[in-house]
Every structure is written in C-alpha cells, then in structure tokens.
C-alpha cells in the first residue's frame, strides 16, 4: 500500500471523529461535557482532571477502520476577580487508528494543544438559593502538542498528531440557571481554526445544553450536605470540512448530535462524575468515521 493511501484512510477516520470531542471542559459542579457560568472565587482555584475514552468503529467505507482515543484534560481555574476567571487546559492524549483492511495500526501519545480561556460574568441575578448568569468567554489554543511525529511508516497524518500545530481561537457565551434542586446550562461557541503544516481543521460551532437534577438528598438538612445530581446533556456540533493544501477535504466535517446521561456526586470540596456521550444523529460528510461512544470520568477539587 502507498503511504498516501494510508494517510488518506487515517485522515478520513479521524477528521471529524477526533475533533468533535475537545470542547471546553468545566471545573464546576456543572455540566460534564462543557463549561458553566458559575463563579470562581477571587484569588481561589479549582483543579479538574478528566478521563475520556472515545471509540469510533462506524466505518462507512471499505477500510474497516477503528479509532480509539484516550484524552486526559487537566484543567486549572483561577478567579482573577469576582467576575473574571481564567482557565488553563492541558490535555494528555493517546490516539490509535487501526485499519483492519490493511492490517495497519498507527498511534501516538503525548501532550496536546493547551488552551487558555477567559470567562467574564457579564450579567447575574442572585436570589436566595438561586442564581442566573450569563458569561461570554474567549479562548486561544496554542500549538503545544507535537505536530510532526513519525512512526515506521513516516510522518503521521495531521489529525493523528498530538497537536494541531496551529493557533486556534474560541468565542462563546454560557447561560446558567441554578437552584438548590436543579441546574440548567446552555452554551454556544464557535472555534476558528487556522492552518499549520498545510492542513487546516474546519471551524467548529457548538450548541450545548445540560440539565442537572438533584436526586439526593430529597430534602435538605442543615449545613452543607453532599448533593447527587442526575445529569442529561445535549451536544450539537457542526464542523466545517478540513482543508488540505488549500483544498477542501470532502470526507471531513458534518453535523453530530450527542446525548450524554451522567451522574455527579458533589461535596463542598470535590466533585466526582461520570457520563457516557452517545450519538443520536451523525450527518457526516463523505467517509468520515462515525463515533460509537465517549466515556467520561472526572474529578474536581476546590483548593
């Protein structure tokens, strides 16, 4: 087989499947798959580590490809002021693409592209046991990940690299309504990707909603009891097609809608949570590889 054929096969598989799952992650008692407008106290910090397992085997083409990605985003949030919070996100990645029709496996691991995000609470309304907030945010993703990794078959295709090699920019806004019984978050964001190594990931638009319902304790006692939330999240994601050498890749991009049921256990200092993100609709271009599921397990600590 030629290296070009192999690269093409991998690219087709990864193009949409990977890029869909690196949205901004939250550090609050909040959505599991995206951010929230809840505050970070001035001068205080929150740390979160998450483990995501992404599995894609729905190959519409003849290559019989399977993709497995493990992502560990480490997130540090810091309250600069009561309204301004900064988030630093550094992912550690492991990607493996198996092309069964060719008996080939290519993989990589390492630190991915780091994101710095600034979120500003533009409006809030606080009442006893209830808050409503709107917070726009901007982010920049720096090319900290390796984007020229090689294996025995040569340089890995760009989507299989740990990093994109490009500076990418995100803009968006989050709405949060939280009461003692439930929380609803909604986020809209747009990510502008730039070109690097003659490759440009397609821009990405996300519309996400999260519902968290306190299921335990049924009635609140005195003090600060731990809460258990049942969580249901919806992620609607549209990716434009990638560009290779200035030409649009017809086997990339598309629209996906995911639902993620989950559970959260929230104490004063920590949050332990798990969710499974499942595809409902995947309207992908060409032979882009479809996602089977994404498993998410995460832990947050207030320090």
Q: Is residue 34 a contact point for another protein (CB under 8 A)?
A: no
Residue among 226 and 280 whose Cβ is closer to another protein: 226
Interface with another protein (CB under 8 A), residue from 122, 220, 278, 280: 220
Residues 96-125 that bind another protein (CB under 8 A): 121, 124
Interface with another protein (CB under 8 A), residue from 15, 38, 196, 289: 38
DSSP 62: T
Q: Is residue 180 a contact point for another protein (CB under 8 A)?
A: yes
CB of 225 to another protein, least distance (A): 7
CB 45 within 8 A of CB 35: no
Please list the residues that pair with 259 across neighbouring strands. Answer: 234, 278
Q: Is residue 299 a contact point for another protein (CB under 8 A)?
A: no
CB 119 within 8 A of CB 161: no
Interface with another protein (CB under 8 A), residue from 161, 183, 252, 298: 183
CB of 60 to another protein, least distance (A): 42
Q: Is residue 150 a contact point for another protein (CB under 8 A)?
A: no
Q: Is residue 42 a contact point for another protein (CB under 8 A)?
A: yes
Q: Where are the beta strands (DSSP E) in the chain?
A: 45-56, 65-79, 84-99, 104-111, 114-120, 123-127, 130-142, 150-151, 154-155, 168-179, 182-192, 195-196, 199-200, 204-216, 227-239, 243-244, 247-248, 254-266, 270-284, 293-302
Q: How far is CA 301 from CA 37, 49, 146, 173, 273, in A?
A: 18, 9, 29, 24, 12
Interface with another protein (CB under 8 A), residue from 227, 231, 235, 237: 227
Q: Is residue 79 a contact point for another protein (CB under 8 A)?
A: yes
**Using CA of residue 242, residue 244, residue 248, residue 249, what is the dihedral sign?**
negative
Q: Is residue 80 a contact point for another protein (CB under 8 A)?
A: no
d(CA 59, CA 98): 11
Q: Is residue 75 a contact point for another protein (CB under 8 A)?
A: no
Q: Which residues here bind another protein, judged by CB under 8 A?
A: 28-29, 38-44, 79, 82-83, 121, 124, 126-131, 178-180, 183, 220-227, 266-269, 271, 300, 302
């Amino acid at each position: 087989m030629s290296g070009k054929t192999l690269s093409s096969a991998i690219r087709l598989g990864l193009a949409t499947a990977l890029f869909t799952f690196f949205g901004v992650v939250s550090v609050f008692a909040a959505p599991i798959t995206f951010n929230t407008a809840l505050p970070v106290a001035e001068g205080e910090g929150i740390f979160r580590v998450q483990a995501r397992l992404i599995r894609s085997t729905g190959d519409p083409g003849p290559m019989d490809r399977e993709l497995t990605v493990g992502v560990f985003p480490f997130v540090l949030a810091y309250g600069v002021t009561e309204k301004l919070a900064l988030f630093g996100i550094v992912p550690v990645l492991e990607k493996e693409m198996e092309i069964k029709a060719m008996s080939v496996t290519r993989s990589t691991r390492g630190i991915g592209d780091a994101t710095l995000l600034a979120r500003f609470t533009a409006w809030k309304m606080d009442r006893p046991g209830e808050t409503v907030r709107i917070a726009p945010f901007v982010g920049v993703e720096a090319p900290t990940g390796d984007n020229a990794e090689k294996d025995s078959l040569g340089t890995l295709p760009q989507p299989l690299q740990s990093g994109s090699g490009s500076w990418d920019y995100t803009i968006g806004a989050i709405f949060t309504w939280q009461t003692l019984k439930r929380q609803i978050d909604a986020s809209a964001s747009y990510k502008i990707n730039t070109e690097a190594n003659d490759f440009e990931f397609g821009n990405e638009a996300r519309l996400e909603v999260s519902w968290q319902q306190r299921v335990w304790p049924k009635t609140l006692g005195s003090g600060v009891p731990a809460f258990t939330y049942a969580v249901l999240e919806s992620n609607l994601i549209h990716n434009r097609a990638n560009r290779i050498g200035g030409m649009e890749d017809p086997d990339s991009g598309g629209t996906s809608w995911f639902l993620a049921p989950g559970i959260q256990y929230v104490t004063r200092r920590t949050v332990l949570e798990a969710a499974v993100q499942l595809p409902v609709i995947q309207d992908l271009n060409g032979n882009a590889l479809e996602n089977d599921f994404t498993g998410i397990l995460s832990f947050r600590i207030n320090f």
